[in-house]
Amino acid sequence: MATFTNQATLTYNGQTTTSNVTVGELVETLTAAKTAVVPTYDPDGRVTYVISLVNSGAAPLTGLTVTDDLGGYTFNGATVYPLSYTAGSVRYYQNGVLQTAPTVTAGPPLVFTGITVPAGGNAVIAYEAAPTAAAPRSAEGLVTNTATATGAGLVNPVTATETVSPTAAPRLSISKSLSPTTVTENGQLTYTFAMQNTGNTAADAAAGAVVTDTFDPRLSGLTVTLNGTALTTPAQYTYDAATGVFATVPGVITVPAATFTQDAATGAYSVTPGTAVLTVTGTV
């Protein structure tokens, strides 16, 4: 709500007098809200945003421009953007009815032009944005971005802000290698299982991680280690020599969270995965 003042001046016979000061309020008819459909994001995922514009006035608001700053923030004297618009994703509604998509400038910043909000009605702009390399990865990270509506009929810009954060979870991968790759009968071989966690949360015992495998040919006389420490059966792993089925006990495998470093020049985050190594050695 904007306040305005006014004062009149009367001039006569070389004299000047002023009136009292009147004060009024100009009621703003447009309100805005911005919501992320899901308040968290994955590094390789997308965020769906919904901007809602409500016009409480008796006249439509036409030709508005809505600008999204895509979460831009200052880093080492430069502006970096943790979000990028997903081309072709915008949907535009008036009073719930799908309209022709507005003109989009991907930016950054992201700009939608030609927005109309009907009298006594609403307009909704829904669109997707993808995290960039400058999007925080740690569980404590935040991306705050602001949408601003401007145009004729608006006394002041109308803004709405939303904040999202990285999904707090482990992100595990596993690779397997064999040594030696050629082995004689009654010879020994070692399977190595290398696990990586690129997530911002450790895969701890509560995560219940399990490594399973079926060894063919069957192995006997197993020796099992995790990060160089011997594991025992059946407390920490099981093995059926008849079928070759091997499994660690849930929660024995733990993998620390990744660490994240932001490049001083570009603002991009690099990932150093947390690791764990399981080895199984046996006789063929």
State residue 25's pLDDT score.
62
Kindly list the distances between the CA atom of residue 160 and the CA atoms of 42, 47, 148, in Å, as whole numbers in the listed order.
23, 16, 7
State residue 277's pLDDT score.
99
Paired with 110 in beta bridges are: 68
Residue 8 corresponds to which tokens in the numbers above?
A: 């009149």
70: left (phi > 0), else alpha (psi -120 to 50), else beta? left
pLDDT by residue (tens digit) across 127-152?
Answer: 999 999 999 999 999 999 999 999 99
185 shares its domain with 111: no
State residue 4's pLDDT score.
67
35 shares its domain with 85: yes
CATH code of 252's domain: 2.60.40
Q: How far is it, in rounded angstroms, from Cα 51 to Cα 166?
A: 21
Q: State which residues form the domain around 218.
A: 172-283
Tens digits of pLDDT across the chain (284 residues): 556 678 888 888 888 888 888 876 656 789 999 999 999 999 999 999 999 999 999 999 999 999 999 999 999 999 999 999 999 999 999 999 999 999 999 999 999 999 999 999 999 999 999 999 999 999 999 999 999 999 998 989 999 999 999 999 999 999 999 999 988 888 999 999 999 999 999 999 999 999 999 999 999 999 999 999 999 999 999 999 999 999 999 999 999 999 999 999 999 999 999 999 999 999 99
Q: How far is it, in rounded angstroms, from Cα 32 to Cα 283?
A: 69
CA atoms within 13 A on the CB side of 96: 0
Domain assignment present for residue 213? The answer is yes
154 shares its domain with 177: no
pLDDT by residue (tens digit) across 213-259?
Answer: 999 999 999 999 999 999 999 999 999 999 999 999 999 999 999 99
191 shares its domain with 277: yes
Domain end marker among 142, 166, 190? 166
176 shares its domain with 152: no
Query: What are the backbone dihedrals phi and psi of residue 33, each rounded to the nearest 5 degrees, phi first?
Result: -140, 145
State residue 116's pLDDT score.
98
State residue 2's pLDDT score.
58
Give the count of domains, the chain: 2
79 shares its domain with 151: yes
Q: How far is it, in rounded angstroms, from Cα 267 to Cα 135?
A: 9
206 shares its domain with 251: yes
43 shares its domain with 142: yes
Rounded to two decimals, the pTM is 0.84
* Percentage of the chain modeled with pLDDT above 70: 97
Domain end marker among 166, 198, 215? 166
State residue 275's pLDDT score.
99
